[in-house]
Structure 1
Amino acid sequence: MTTTHEAGWAHASGALRGPSWLRAPGDPNELVPELWSSTARKVDGDLVVGGIAVADLVAEHNTPAYVLDEDDFRGRARAFRDAFGQDAGWDVYYAGKAFLCTTVARWVAEEGLSLDVCSAGELTVALRAGFDPARIGYHGNNKSLRDLRRAVDAGVGRIIVDSFTEIERLAAATRDLGRTAGVMVRVTAGVEAHTHEYIATAHEDQKFGFSISSGDALEAVRRVHAAEGLELLGLHSHIGSQIFDSSGFEVAARRVLALHARVAEELGVTMPEMDLGGGFGIAYTTQDDPSEPAQLAVEMGRIVDHECRALGIGRPRLSVEPGRAIVGPSMCTVYTVGTVKPVTLDGGAVRTYVSVDGGMSDNIRTALYDADYSCTLAARASEAPPVLARVVGSHCEAGDIVVKDEFLPGDVAPGDLVAVPGTGAYCRSMASNYNHALRPPVIAVRDGVASVVLRRETEDDLLATDVGAE
């Protein structure tokens, strides 16, 4: 933690020492295993993922590029499936918003998970992949009548409603199509999750869901129950993202289960399901200490069982929605260094800026959420002592930062490859064409075989929607 200075951040005490949790490594060539996918390792300085040297991938596919470790993704999916298993009374929905393409949707299906989507586009990808619509949950706070009609017509298993207007639209869609839709009611439990303001989603003053404390949530349940064509399945709660502390889930479960019990008492309806959302954190840097799926399952199951006993009600069928916790560590992003610029500040302090051929167009999280990342030199070993560096992109923005602070070998130079771990969640899915950048490919690797699951965009793709260029 640095202190502010009237002349700016660069002059603050400790500004060039990095955050307090960051320590200079004994060997800057070594990986920190908990930050990387399970098959990632260094071999004579070369980063190898899925049995393939990253340098070989770059030779064929260029940079920047996302590298997706298929074994790691599948292993994490299975860990959640087994921990929150059918036998334990849970369903696991992979949160597709973290990262989704047809190949990943098929992996999710093959590993026995259900799928959560939150837009018409994500639903399109899921259906194109052949995903069973009965195992799809459809989120979103502003679903149009057209969106809802499509979901109902496709046979989506559950639709999570987010407003009174949406309840009316969904009822109209089922009436027009002569179909029935399973419905969950998104509620806000008033929990202040310990995370960034923009990804805390269960406090009262934000756009999602129906407030429990105001009575809107109970009224929404009444309307869904009374509407012809809508089958009330239960309540849905999500407290935020990148959560490490289970106490937030405890408070949310208590409040949501209390509403669940009240619905049974006042409406005579025992809702069969309840969804506690996702938001489970991962390790982006050494300051992060995420819980394993088995530990989460035990802790959350204990919380729910305790509250159900206190309320004298039966336990509903439960579900969770991990996204980041599955795909986040499974992917890294590889860049080529273009320039290395030591910047001398007042007083003689020097910050080393390492500019790479990507940036906020392929990873907006640092600029948007002040997120922390790590990185490593990916295609050679170095005996140079480590220096504190800042990895930045090539966009025309001062805030175009990829890695705020990390130790790299002091001889890092143009042409070197740098890899950033933990980029599977919300990097490719939030990627943009800012400055008319071309979005990178996603290359899946497994057992020495590489396959492109999303190709690199081309200039023709960039101009395809530019009518004046035709």
Structure 2
Amino acid sequence: MNDLNSIDQRVFPPTARRGRECGRLKIADVPATELAEHFGTPLYVIDEQAARDRAVQTREALQREFARVGTEATVYYAGKAFLCVEVAKWMVEEGLNIDVASGGELAVALAAGVAPARIGFHGNNKSEAEIARAVAAGVGTLIIDSEQEITRIAEAAAAAGTRQRVRLRINSGVHAGAHDFLATAHEDQKFGLPLARAVELSTNIASYDSLDFAGLHCHIGSQIFSSEAFRESARRMLGVYAELESVLGAPVPELNLGGGFGIAYTPDQAAEAPDIELLAAQLADIAAATSAELGIALPKVAFEPGRSVIGQSGVTLYTVGTTKSVQLADSDAAGDPADLGFSSRLYVSVDGGMSDNARPALYGSDYHVRLANRASEAEAQLVRVVGKHCESGDIVVPRDVLPADVAPGDLLAVAATGAYCWSLSNNYNYLPRPAVVAIRNGEARVIVRGETEEELLARSVF
């Protein structure tokens, strides 16, 4: 059995460790207990320097490797993973552009002072108002997701007296990811247009004076651990580029290969999670070799990582409210290798749940938990960390092992919650959404205010 007091920095932020006194978890030298006392729980905690460092590492790796094969790489931070004004500022300061997927996310990026030319705007159902707003703001690229959007964007750009740069989102037919809902390149889903229509639709786009066709875009899924799916997707997309060059009479300048790079949510996943340096080299080699085979110039490339940039820098703190032991049926213990050796499971209820982390309920996602307020020498106990919502699927950590003396009042830390936790948060059962605190240089500050019950009540009309 692993050390129950260990803090695995492959899933926790690199600065996370246990202090010598009382074994309290520290993040960037700030004790978790102090964070909980000052800001309350549940609480999202972001190690700012870890997020910045990961952004730089990702950008530099992709730019270096694609420069090696003779082209340029642009990296967009996928704001849907977690976007607020401060995070947008961090990403731009570290050399990334910003990818948004709604008018609200666009408003956040603009409020952060992001230059509109550095923004890409996604969305399968952008309203006419959102399109007009993006065009008027000077957004660098609008990603066309349906045939109707070609006309809508062209008309909005003509009305504004400008030429709007666009990409066409194409489903390469290659999809990858940990859950069907995370796979986004097969035809039977809401995003993008069929690969078979790429030439026809690109030609249509090029016929409008108010549109500047920058190239194709694809996204094959999320939480991807292997480069093989990217290899096949790039091959298919670049095959279309060879045909487009002949039809349009000029090379297509750019190919956006999306994001979806996976991270480790549990120590068991750490060996599989891709190393960005190696992945960047593999992607560059794939693109260069495919272009050479097709006899076309390698276009500029773009990527849109989100989870892999911000995910590991985040930790969520919870306070234990109640615990409840249940006996495991023989069939459960025998059928699940992770449960072998345990005759019981301890349900550990915390003061948050599916309102602050919907991913286990949506995707069956795994997470890793540790005691944060103390170390313990107690024996190991199989646990399931659950929330306080009136829902049996309200699970935060489906399966992990904690010291058997975990008890009401203890503080728990769940790792790798920087992505798709705050951004998917909700008010189920009228729970206010937690605050987000960033730590840098040993100091913590609120970057997103938590809600209050009074604010929730203020929405009701009496």
Please, what TM-score do these two structures have when normalized by structure 2? 0.94
Alpha-carbon distance in 1 for matches of 2:160, 2:253: 25
The CA deviation string for residues 252-272 of structure 1, in whole angstroms up to 9 with x for no partner, is 000000111111112213211
Of 246, 258, 263, which aligns to 1:282? 263
Of 294, 299, 304, which aligns to 2:277? 294
Match of 1:445 in 2: 439
State whether structure 2 residue 224 is matched by structure 1 residue 243: yes
Match of 2:38 in 1: 60
State whether structure 2 residue 22 is matched by structure 1 residue 28: no
User: Which secondary structure state, in structure 1, belongs to the residue aligned with residue 232 of structure 2?
Assistant: helix
State whether structure 2 residue 199 is matched by structure 1 residue 221: no
Of 356, 374, 377, which aligns to 1:380? 374
CA contact (8 A) 2:183 2:222 kept: yes
Of 80, 90, 103, which aligns to 2:86? 103
**Partner amino acid, structure 2, of 1:98:** A
The CA deviation string for residues 131-187 of structure 1, in whole angstroms up to 9 with x for no partner, is 011011000000111111000000000110000111111011011111111000000
State whether structure 2 residue 284 is matched by structure 1 residue 308: no
Matches within 5 A, 1:20-419: 24-25=1-2, 27-44=3-20, 45-85=23-63, 88=67, 89-212=72-195, 215-288=196-269, 289-345=272-328, 349-419=343-413
CA contact (8 A) 1:276 1:319 kept: yes
Q: Offset of 1:194 from its aligned partner?
A: 4.3
Q: CA RMSD in A?
A: 1.2
Q: Offset of 1:346 from its aligned partner?
A: 5.2
User: Which secondary structure state, in structure 2, belongs to the residue aligned with residue 85 of structure 1?
Assistant: helix
User: Which secondary structure state, in structure 1, belongs to the residue aligned with residue 222 of structure 2?
Assistant: coil
The alignment-based identity, stated in percent, is 50
Alpha-carbon distance in 1 for matches of 2:256, 2:128: 24
Alpha-carbon distance in 2 for matches of 1:269, 1:346: 66
CA contact (8 A) 1:210 1:220 kept: no
**Partner amino acid, structure 2, of 1:82:** E
Alpha-carbon distance in 2 for matches of 1:367, 1:208: 23
CA contact (8 A) 2:344 2:382 kept: no
The CA deviation string for residues 227-267 of structure 1, in whole angstroms up to 9 with x for no partner, is 12000000001100000110000000000001111111122
User: Which secondary structure state, in structure 2, belongs to the residue aligned with residue 337 of structure 1?
Assistant: strand
Match of 2:453 in 1: 459
CA contact (8 A) 1:189 1:211 kept: yes
CA contact (8 A) 1:51 1:446 kept: no
**Partner amino acid, structure 1, of 2:383:** A
CA contact (8 A) 2:431 2:453 kept: no
Match of 1:427 in 2: 421
After the TM superposition, which of the residue ranges 343-352 and 146-155 deviates more from structure 2? 343-352
User: Which secondary structure state, in structure 1, belongs to the residue aligned with residue 434 of structure 2?
Assistant: coil
Please, what TM-score do these two structures have when normalized by structure 1? 0.92
Alpha-carbon distance in 1 for matches of 2:29, 2:115: 32
Alpha-carbon distance in 1 for matches of 2:191, 2:441: 42
Alpha-carbon distance in 2 for matches of 1:391, 1:69: 23
CA contact (8 A) 1:336 1:356 kept: yes
